[in-house]
Structure 1
């Protein structure tokens, strides 16, 4: 593991030097995106939950699992970070340009990238819970990971492992949690508590229940 930073030094330097040749406004966009992307994933979680309130119980279960699976991805990434005490490249790479954002203090280790792990986990979890969303979440996650190298606070291998680990953990978490969470959603939807039912929604209404009583039994 100690050799990984050395293997990434050249690519890190290339990206860092390229970053300093870009216009100031582009650098600012990268600086903002490196944090704003996480907020946008959060917005997608809320949107996915809201749209699933009128969907099937399975759709609601997947929508609820998406942020939970992402949280698991972060926990695994943080656990790996505490095991691999890798110094940040903005401090360790000789001759590297000054990072575009403040270099994290010593002890805030570099491997893997938590931002990338969260992005990878969120991209996979949202793709599993929202049909077609992968075409948005995958580019978002890749841009998030690249931005962490671009602003100078991570090696390329940090973000690559972060994306893969976060995505893998989220996939397993969603698959493992789908059935138990589905059971909880179905129980909640049959609850007598209005607040509980509002949180999970009433789901899809059948055509029979949507028709007037007279229409079901025939007009007399």
Structure 2
């Protein structure tokens, strides 16, 4: 299975040379930026999107929406981890060498890559995170998907993956995050709901300044804390 792309007439190889050729024409400083972006930057960007989504849903959504969204945000990194584990036997079965081992003239921006190429771990991780975020919040999810696609482009630009490695990674991350989401959310939602019931943990799910008041428990169908007689009189 190692010969998925073996000659220049293959569109996969041709696209590899076209995209990686941009690195040859770019100034060295730009290649260093792309190297950092493709190795670490986009993953860090996705982490920031997760944090921004969490901050938004706990302040602006209803309590029930906050519980659902935060359960999905917890699922996002779990999905990424599962997808990377699924990729281990796939890589071992396909045994596709890195493109720079079979093709000369590539501008490889990251040295030391000795593992197999198909499918891309970075693309898999990025898209699994992005789909998990999309399940939690559409607007943040679209931004995350854009970052995941950019990750795939960077991996080819850097000369460490074929385009089909990236496509396979994006597909794998999407499949794991979407197909397992119903089961994962069914398990995670009660956990998040229990956290919302707690005195201090509830702030992780619902901000006190959020619209609709600070009572997280009552608005998600949980019993509200009892009030004293004086408080009841004032409420009346």
TM, length-normalised to structure 2:
0.78
Deviation of 1:41 after TM superposition, in Å, equals 1.2
Aligned-residue Cα RMSD (Å) equals 2.7
Equivalent residue in structure 1 for 2:49, among 44, 53, 66 = 44
Q: Which digits, 9 at most, give the CA deviation of each residue in 1:188-212, with x for residues without a partner?
A: 33346x4x445545774768x7xx7
Distance 1:214 1:63 in 2: 41
Task: Report if the CA contact (8 A) 2:197-2:217 is conserved.
Answer: no
Higher mean displacement: 44-53 or 127-136: 44-53
Distance 1:173 1:184 in 2: 17
1:66 maps to which residue?
76
Task: Report if the CA contact (8 A) 1:37-1:144 is conserved.
Answer: yes
1:89 maps to which residue?
99
Task: Report if the CA contact (8 A) 2:95-2:116 is conserved.
Answer: yes
2:141 maps to which residue?
134
**Alpha-carbon distance change, 40 to 78 in structure 1, aligned in 2, over 3 angstroms:** farther
1:152 aligns with 2:159: yes
1:128-207 equivalence runs, <5 A = 128-191=135-198, 194=200, 196-201=201-206, 204=216
**Alpha-carbon distance change, 103 to 14 in structure 1, aligned in 2, over 3 angstroms:** farther
The gaps in structure 1 that reach 5 residues or longer are none
Q: Which digits, 9 at most, give the CA deviation of each residue in 1:30-73, with x for residues without a partner?
A: 11110211111122223333444454322221222122122222
Distance 1:102 1:76 in 2: 25
The gaps in structure 2 that reach 5 residues or longer are 208-214, 225-230
1:12-23 equivalence runs, <5 A = 12-23=16-27
TM, length-normalised to structure 1:
0.83
Distance 2:137 2:53 in 1: 7
Distance 1:149 1:188 in 2: 42
Aligned residues: 211
1:104 aligns with 2:113: yes
Deviation of 1:4 after TM superposition, in Å, equals 2.1
